[in-house]
Amino acid sequence: SSELTQDPAVSVALGQTVRITCQGDSLRSYYASWYQQKPGQAPVLVIYGKNNRPSGIPDRFSGSSSGNTASLTITGAQAEDEADYYCNSRDSSGNHSFGTGTKVTVL
Amino acid sequence: QITLKESGPTLVKPTQTLTLTCTFSGFSLSTSGVGVGWIRQPPGKALEWLALIYWNDDKRYSPSLKSRLTITKDTSKNQVVLTMTNMDPVDTATYYCAHSGSSGRNFDYWGQGTLVTVSS
């Protein structure tokens, strides 16, 4: 499975916008999905496909992709968005990879 | 609603084989496009995908762990079993199972996870 690289940590002021990126060769062919994980909890899917949100995920979460880079944007970050975020994709063999993870701090 | 729950030993010794069971409800693993995957997370570290089994019994394994992993399903019991041989302390992690309803494109429902410690 191919590697997916994320920045280790980002911070954002309350109410501002933050973009988290994920880079990997598989992203040229397959969409990333994005997961939010809070301490002691299981990951939660927040974005999948081109830019789809599961039921219950606020519309401040959005996704995009260009070349080998996928992005998750939080527009108007809230205190409850402070968490670790992971991207995920599969490759042409059907094998999956998760990104290295980004810790988002809301100031 | 879809739920998944992992079960198995909390402590295994080095070189032993780990067997984990994912018991699920709210969906059938005989439905086209459905899969169940296993993902683990060492304490303080990132998620790592391990394996995925589909409704048609197609299986995928992490290339780096393929020789140690076996994933099977029991559709009648609504269970998926993962075995990992030759356990080592570096395999200490929380192990999650997760549902994929989109032919393996993403994992939309997750179990709570089970912490497995490898120690003598």
pLDDT 10s digits, B18-39: 999 999 999 999 999 999 999 9
Confidence of residue A31 (pLDDT cuts 50, 70, 90): very high
List, in order, residues 6 or more apart from A101 with CB less than 8 Å away. Answer: A6, A8, A84, A85, A86, B46, B47
Show the CA angle centred on residue A95, arms to residues B96 and B103, nearest 5°: 80
A95 to chain B, any CB pair closer than 8 A? The answer is yes
What's the whole-number average pLDDT of chain B?
Answer: 96
Size of interface A-B (CB pairs under 8 A): 66
Of the two residues B102 and B26, the one the predictor is more confident about is B26
> Which residues of chain A have a CB within 8 Å of the CB of B52?
94, 96
pLDDT 10s digits, A80-90: 999 999 999 99
pLDDT for B118: 98
Q: Can you point out the beta strands (E) in B2-120?
A: 3-7, 11-12, 18-25, 35-41, 48-54, 59-61, 69-74, 79-84, 93-100, 109-110, 114-118
